[in-house]
Structure 1
Amino acid sequence: MTETKQQTILEQLGGLSGLVYSTLPIIAFVPANSIWGLAPAVWIALGVAAAILVWRVVRRGAIQPAISGFLGVGVCAFIAYRTGDAKGYFLFGIYTSLVYAAVFVLSIVVRRPLVGVAWGYLNGHRNAWRAHPGAVRAYDIATVAWALVFGARYLVQSQLYDADQTGWLAVSRIGMGWPLTGLALLVTVWAVRRADRIVEPAPDPAELEPGTTGEVDPGSDVDRGA
């Protein structure tokens, strides 16, 4: 059951490979900009994103995260091209992080922690968890973890953007990307486990039918030596 939960959450992010693939266009963009200039770097980043999309299709992997990644790279590349500055490539991600952080925080304020809402729809429980304070607290903690991840990304990367540190922007984008996402995911899995145990407690052994706990029914043929 736990492995299924972890796989379901990872699938929404494109899996571990999807988290790593998301850094490849950035790794290609920055050195290409330094060597050949902005326009070639934009096309190279788009080419890498397109290659990843084709690779996922050929491997029959999760397509939706790959499409989202390609579109995201397209938006970032367009902004960089329009601003005429390589650091513009990171502008969309910076403000997206700010919006995400605000949404996660707001969900806690209105007592609808976003992690709980999302998982409730994924596992079919809907809003059943809201009747259990312990489950709500667990989802609050997981939601705070995501808010901290996105908030930290915005604070650090906006400062680097203002300081025209394009190289360090790339480093921070990668360093604060899938590694921090992995940490937040671990907190999320813990919250899901804890909340599900509260919402769906283990059945009372006394209420189980004979034989379901692994004990031999006294009236069975095995007990009579049949």
Structure 2
Amino acid sequence: MDLKKDEILEELRSIFLNKTFDALLPPIIYAVSNSIFGLIPAVFLAVAAALFNFSRRIIKKENWKYSLAGLIGVIFASSLAYLSDNASSYFIPALTSSTLFLLASIISIIIGRPLAAWASHLSRGWPLQWFWRDDIKPAYREVTIFWALYFALRLTIQLNLFFSDAVLNLAWVNIILGWPTIAVVLTISYLYGIWRLNNLGGPGVDEFKAEKEPPWDGQNRGF
């Protein structure tokens, strides 16, 4: 239990101390600047904030890959806003992301290959055959349904604010329903997933690889 707690806390610490700060600064600066100075200054200040985040991590020799992706994303979003002369267009990538993840979740459930299983396979390298077992797959299907509900809620709120041109509110919603909420969703997914795998009574991934016969100890770490 202590090892599981330490694993979850380490992941949350990484998200809140690193990713949240990088994700928070540009959209808030953009939204506030747009309400005070107008679109053009908001675009330049948002890009400057993202460039600051990226440069800061390079200088401090920290992991800069997320900041680089953020910088590219801010440049793209700012370009959409500038070219369309519409401040709300800055958030089109966020709406697109929510839509794609929602569709991916729903489609993966329909075809019987849940998105949560693919995500775990890609991040952990566990064999796909293990995920598709009848005594394993239900846990990943149920977690994927949970993800679909989250993305549906996020997209509904985003679209409502987007079409209302509520730029500042949309910025705050994207932040709150971004990494902070994702951290909560992933934590719940992890805890539920481990419990459900043990409830299903299937083999742990290491037992599956070793072709161990039942009775199995089950999956006790990692989901």
- Structure 2-normalised TM-score? 0.78
2:26 corresponds to: 25
SS in 1 for 2:33: helix
After superposing the two structures, state which structure 1 stretch, 161-170 or 100-109, moved more: 161-170
> Aligned to 2:136, what secondary structure does the other structure show?
helix
Give the gaps of 5 or more residues in structure 1. Answer: 205-226
> Is 1:155 aligned with 2:153?
no
Preserved contact between residue 139 and residue 192 of structure 1 (Cα < 8 Å): yes
In structure 1, the residue matched to 2:57 is 56
Deviations 1:202-226 (A, max 9, x none): 989xxxxxxxxxxxxxxxxxxxxxx
Q: Tell me which residue corresponds to 1:99.
A: 100
Unaligned runs of 5+ in 2: 213-223
* Partner secondary structure for residue 30 of structure 2: helix
Asked if 1:46 is matched to 2:47, the reply is: yes
The letter for the 2-side match of 1:80 is A
Q: 2: distance between equivalents of 1:109 and 1:59?
A: 46
- Compute the displacement of 1:79 (Å): 0.6
- Which residue of the partner structure matches residue 178 of structure 2? 177
Matches within 5 A, 1:68-217: 68-191=69-192, 193-194=194-195, 198-200=202-204
Is the Cα contact below 8 Å between 1:135 and 1:194 reproduced in 2? no
Aligned residues: 203
Cα-Cα RMSD: 2.9
8 A Cα contact 2:43 2:78, kept in partner: yes
CA shift in 2, pair 1:92/1:189, >3 Å: same
In 2, Cα distance between the equivalents of 1:80 and 1:185? 31
* Alpha-carbon distance between aligned partners in 2 of 1:123 and 1:7, rounded to the nearest angstrom: 18
Note the C-alpha offset of 1:134.
Answer: 3.8
Using the size of structure 1 for normalisation, the TM-score is: 0.77
Cα deviation, residue 192, structure 1:
5.1
Does structure 2 retain, via aligned residues, the 8 Å contact 1:2–1:193? Answer: no
Counterpart-to-counterpart distance in 2, 1:90 and 1:28 = 13
Answer yes or no: is the 8 Å Cα contact 2:121–2:128 preserved in 1: yes
Q: Which has the larger radius of gyration?
A: 1
Residues 98 and 150, structure 1, Cα contact 8 Å, conserved in 2: yes
With over 3 angstroms needed to count, the CA separation of the structure-2 counterparts of 1:56 and 1:3, relative to structure 1, is farther
Deviation at 1:29, TM superposition (A): 0.6
Shift of 1:6: 4.3
Question: What's 1:15 paired with?
Answer: 15
Whole-angstrom CA distance in 1 between matches of 2:9 and 2:127: 19
Q: Which deviates further from its counterpart, 142-151 or 191-200?
A: 191-200
Q: Tell me if the contact between 1:120 and 1:129 (Cα under 8 Å) persists in the aligned partners.
A: no
State the identity %: 25
